[in-house]
Amino acid sequence: MIATVLVPQMGGGPGDKARVIQSLLFTSGVNTLLQTLFGTRLPTVMGPSFAYIISALSVINDLSDSTFRSEHQRFEHTMRAIQGSLIVSSIINIILGYGQVWGKLTRFFSPVVITPLVCVVGLGLSGRGFPQVGDCIEIGLPMLILLVISQQYMQRVHPVAQSILERFALLLCIGLIWAFAAILTVAGAYNHVKEQTKMSCRIDHSFLLSSAPWIKVPYPFQWGTPIFRASHVFGMMGAALVSSAESTATFYAASRLAGATLPPAHVVSRSIGLQV
C-alpha cells in the first residue's frame, strides 16, 4: 500500500514502484533478522510503518511545484529528499534507544495511552486505503470477506487449520484472490470497461512483474545522494516517535501472545535503537 500511495504521486512508473517494493521487502527482512537476533528476540515481523506516509506526502507536496525534465527525474529527486529526511530522523531512534531514554519512558505507556495512538494512526490512513476496495468491488469485497472469515471463524474448524491460519491467513487469501482475479482477466471480464477499472482489476495492467528484474539487491543511495532539508526532517522526526510507540505496543502484544515475559526496559530501548 505504501508504494501504491506514494510512488505515483512522486512521478514514478511501474519500474520505480517495483524497485520501491523490493527495497521495502529487503530492508524489512534485514530489520526482522536484527530484531529476532539482537533486539527483543520476539517472533515479530518488522515492516515499514504507515506513520511515515503523511510525512512523505508532505515532502511530495512541497516539491510538487518544482520543475523537472521528466517525471522520472521528479521521482528520483523526491526519493532523495525523503531518503535524507529519513536518515536524519533515524537519529532520534538511535538516541532514544541506545541512550536508554525510551526504556525509561515505557513506564508511562499504559494500554490507555498506546491503544488510542495506534487506532488514530490506523484510522487516519483508512481514508486512503479502504476506498481502494471500491475501485474493484468484485476483487476487493471477496478479499475482505475471505480474510475476516479465515481469521475469525475458520480457525475453529480444526486444530491444524487454526495453526495454519494463525500464521498464513493473509498470504493464503492474497493468493486465492489473485488467482480469482487472474481467471476474470483471462476470461475477458474486463475487456470492455474503463481504463481506470482495468488498472484496478486486471492483473496485467500494473506492469510490476514485467518491470521488476529477476534479481535485484537494494543498496544505499541507489537513487542518488540524499537531500537534507530542515522542513522535511522535522516532519519525519514526529513520524519516528509515533513509529517507536507503535513498535513498543507491538512488542508487548507479541510477548503476551507468545507466552513470554514482558520485555524489560533495556531490551525495548535496544530494539528501538535497531529500528532505523
How far CA 134 is from CA of 111, 174, 211, in Å, comes to 33, 17, 26
C-alpha to C-alpha distance for 87 and 276, rounded to whole angstroms: 8
Which residue is listed with cell 519500474? 15
Number of residues in the chain = 276
> Digits of tens for pLDDT over the chain (276 positions)?
788 888 888 988 888 888 898 888 898 889 988 888 888 888 888 888 888 888 899 999 988 888 888 888 999 999 999 999 999 999 888 998 888 888 888 877 777 777 776 676 666 666 666 777 777 888 888 888 888 888 778 777 777 777 777 777 888 888 899 899 889 888 888 888 887 778 778 887 777 777 778 888 888 888 989 999 888 888 899 888 888 888 888 888 788 877 888 888 888 888 888 886
The pLDDT assigned to 122 comes to 63
The pLDDT assigned to 63 comes to 87
C-alpha to C-alpha distance for 142 and 159, rounded to whole angstroms: 25
The pLDDT assigned to 226 comes to 92
C-alpha to C-alpha distance for 35 and 272, rounded to whole angstroms: 9
The pLDDT assigned to 125 comes to 60
The pLDDT assigned to 197 comes to 79
How far CA 149 is from CA of 61, 94, 143, 203, 257, in Å, comes to 39, 41, 10, 24, 21
